[in-house]
A and B are shown apart, each in its own frame.
Chain A
Amino acid sequence: GAVVSQHPSRVICKSGTSVKIECRSLDFQATTMFWYRQFPKQSLMLMATSNEGSKATYEQGVEKDKFLINHASLTLSTLTVTSAHPEDSSFYICSARGRRGLGNEQFFGPGTRLTVL
């Protein structure tokens, strides 16, 4: 199957700093990328959807100025958590959906665990 990578896999930062997470589709062109967050023992929650070359669409309750999403190319999307606070500590997962040949399937990245001290 198609491969999606995330970097870093784990990050610890101080409160008030910004953290950038990269999501790459390694062997296909991702026309749409999704960003999720997952709190312990809870299901994934969609944060935003981004299409290449256009602004991300954020879900209700997700602050777009705090969670900056850039989808500048068909293989790369970035999520920047600005002025991170301890309550932003979570597991962030991206997924990518490709062109028509890959149908409706989403391919998931391995996730990034963010800990804000």
Chain B
Amino acid sequence: KNEVEQSPQNLTAQEGEFITINCSYSVGISALHWLQQHPGGGIVSLFMLSSGKKKHGRLIATINIQEKHSSLHITASHPRDSAVYICAVTSYGKLTFGQGTILTVHP
């Protein structure tokens, strides 16, 4: 079993829909990251959080340390949100990555 599991692996949505991507982890962490990778390959860090909730524009990330679970929400999704979303955890100074969720938002 991977230390970081994401679900779903693939997600298709219509423009405007509310989207949730889940991440569960099994190790002790000091931080959890949500990353976005566009088809060109470059990675953008969306959030780093260790507790609670963070919001940036249409993106919201939450984490429940007791349950070892985090969610990334996208409100009013748009085709430009189409990308791979990666959950990663920092444990003992190293990042461990989930397999990623491929999000496709259709107009």
Q: What are the residues of chain A within 8 A of B44 when measuring CB–CB?
A: 108
Of B31, B48, B90, B97, which one neighbours A44 at CB under 8 angstroms?
A: B97
Within 8 A of A (CB), among B38-64: 40-45, 48
Q: Are A111 and B43 in contact (CB under 8 A)?
A: yes
Per DSSP, chain B at the interface is: strand
A106 near B95 with CB under 8 A, answer: yes
- What string of 1s and 0s marks CB contacts (under 8 Å) between A25-61 and chain B? 0000000001000100011101001000000000000
Q: Is the CB of A105 within 8 A of B42?
A: no
Chain B residues, CB < 8 A from A38: 41
Mask of A97-117 contacts with B, CB within 8 angstroms, 1/0: 000000111111111010000
- CB contacts under 8 Å to A, within B86-107, are 86, 90, 94-95, 97-100
Whether B35 sits at the interface, judged by CB under 8 Å, is yes
In the assembled complex, the Cα of A34 lies from the Cα of B33 at a distance in Å of: 16
State A58–B86 Cα separation when bound (angstroms).
23
Interface size in chain B (residues, C-beta < 8 A): 19
Please tell me if A93 contacts chain B, counting CB pairs below 8 Å.
Answer: yes
Tell me if B14 counts as interface (CB < 8 A to partner A).
Answer: no
Residue B30 CB within 8 A of the other chain:
yes
Distance of A46 Cα from B88 Cα, bound (Å): 12
State whether B90 touches A111 (Cβ < 8 A): no
Tell me the smallest distance from the CB of B27 to a CB of chain A, in Å.
15
Residue on A nearest B29 in the bound complex, by CB: A104
Q: Check A108 against B43 for contact (C-beta < 8 Å).
A: yes
Question: In the complex, are the beta carbons of A105 and B99 less than 8 A apart?
Answer: no
A110 to B43, CA, bound (A): 6
Top 9 closest A-B pairs, CB basis?
A: A110-B42, A108-B43, A43-B97, A111-B41, A104-B31, A105-B48, A44-B97, A43-B99, A91-B41
Q: 11 pairs across A/B with beta carbons < 8 Å?
A: A44-B95, A49-B94, A91-B41, A105-B45, A105-B48, A106-B45, A106-B95, A107-B45, A109-B42, A111-B43, A113-B41
List chain A positions with a Cβ less than 8 A from chain B. 1, 34, 38, 42-44, 46, 49, 91, 93, 95, 103-111, 113
